[in-house]
Structure 1
């Protein structure tokens, strides 16, 4: 991954440099067209001067022209860095002065004629025109061998492309080293994560990472924290479950062993009749084991750190209270407890099954610990701009000093009558944390009993 990122960064940095070099060369080549145009204009300006350089015509067997070169023509022919030459012919194409290879067919009219011609390895720019001179109409021609495009091509190669190629090569090395150095923190981060054992979920050192990578490090630390919290919760859950299941399972095993011993003493065809007390103990041990297993499962599922990522849905608290009332009505009636409901319509955003578990645990605790003939009331509605769920009983209540501890797992107030595992209120408190709230415990009406209340955002 890092190799691909390094390669992409290098290419992204070098491609603009290469494009700039090519663009620079292209603009330089385009500037050669301007130089060629200036060359044509100079040749055009020199033609009249060449024609005016003819001051007479010799006599004798071979006629020749008498020339007195104008300074501009003389400078063009002798002082230029590149080759230059001329030719003067009559209208029939006979050479009168200059180089013979320039003596070509004369122009048909007085218009300028420009063309390129290769001669002796040189590309010449040639201009011809009919001009009036002191000896009559002649054809004058000038040739410039300093090809601007070729000169500019050489100049571009030596002064533009070659330096740019060297610059790009040097930049490639420098950029490669810079990118590699810039990516070292990522490599170090990768190595730090790879060297860790599955049990090491401590936070990474954010200060050792560059500013651009710190959001990634913070996200990793947050993920490590969630995993660590979940792993710790699971370890604690397993330890608690193993500890708490030991007692009811031991009791259940003892009852089964007693039953097995009685069956062994009765012989192969004997009939074993268990005393009613032993059957009652066996049934109680089985119920306690089943209830504890269900509560441990509910506690594990209600872990606040594991539920934050779950989506919320709209929950009707009044309908929820009615369902819980119906589910516990038989247990309350068996103990002659008046189980009532005071509910106003209200809806909140939450987890329906968790709120159902919370309310069920609160009602189960209230029915279990309230003396026979007592009262348990479920309430829901609005209070001070918030929704609330409330269960109130007139049982023995919880001393003020113990109210914080009864929300801990497996804690029971000493001297409490009845069977229990100390998980009901702990489960309710865990569910309250999932809903960004907490369970509030206080005395019931008249200072008697216990009132458990949960406030929820609307």
Structure 2
């Protein structure tokens, strides 16, 4: 779509040009009508003057296309052209008695006179030809409007050009100013729209701050913002209620699992319920975080990472995988966030590495100034699989273990913190999943921690 300002300027220019041409046509049409006879005489005199030739003692009016057209359009045309004693006459049978005798001795110029009987008029044009005076008298001429218009344009081309230039300059300046006003009005609306928080679009643009022409558009935007905000609130309420309602059944289920007599089945059921409980807790934390029910506070990533690795140490020991915590520089590392949500996100990454990093012998949690990374030395992911893992119900486990919701929730948690989840992997070289925070700041020095599970 083209620019509104450009389209407006072009449209205004085309409209102004059309109006100017119409006004010029009306002026040409009306102006000769007010002095029809005088304008007609001027055209006819010019035609005869161009056709007149004086050679020695001969005065000849040549047959030119313009003269032939004049004769064809004027059945009662007559004219007398003289220069001193030299005379050329046409249509004498139509010529009435004239009040002027030949040779004419009057002043140079163009005039319109009445005949003796006062029933008609005739044109008298006196022009200086060197030492001679060329006198032309014409009666009953009929001149086409087009020729009168062309003669008018030729004689008035410079004033018309100046008028057109002034008109075009006025239109150009007006278009530029109008386009600027339109652009500034749209820019104000855009600024107000950008000021609305995408996570909470309940704000609206005040109609008193926008031009009248943009009020319907702004009103539609406000209505759309209100509908989007209502939908977001409904989804967040549903997510929070669902997670909250699931906690009680999961607690009862875990209590009943303790009564299962088969140890192997009981262990498997406990693991599944623990994973489901972690997922529900993450959903509830995310819902609370999005609804701003929990205030963000400074949290220590090093301490959280140590606690999460300690929780997963038994599972890592059973799988024969070494867990390690390394940090780049001095710590602890503080970020603004919600402790439970960040713990859930980090636990999800460590749990994914333990379950899905096939062939991994070592998992390292690396702390840096902008966040934390979970690195494994497993088989890695297939090419192009990183983006798919961030979608809901996508999992890197071909066996179908897991719901595929964990990384999607981690991504939402990081988005709520203003950060991001970054996944990088290469077949045969392991996988790195990083939690990047917008303002992770290192403070007090702490020794490097190394937690191993063998």
Q: TM-score, normalised by structure 1?
A: 0.41
Larger radius of gyration: 1
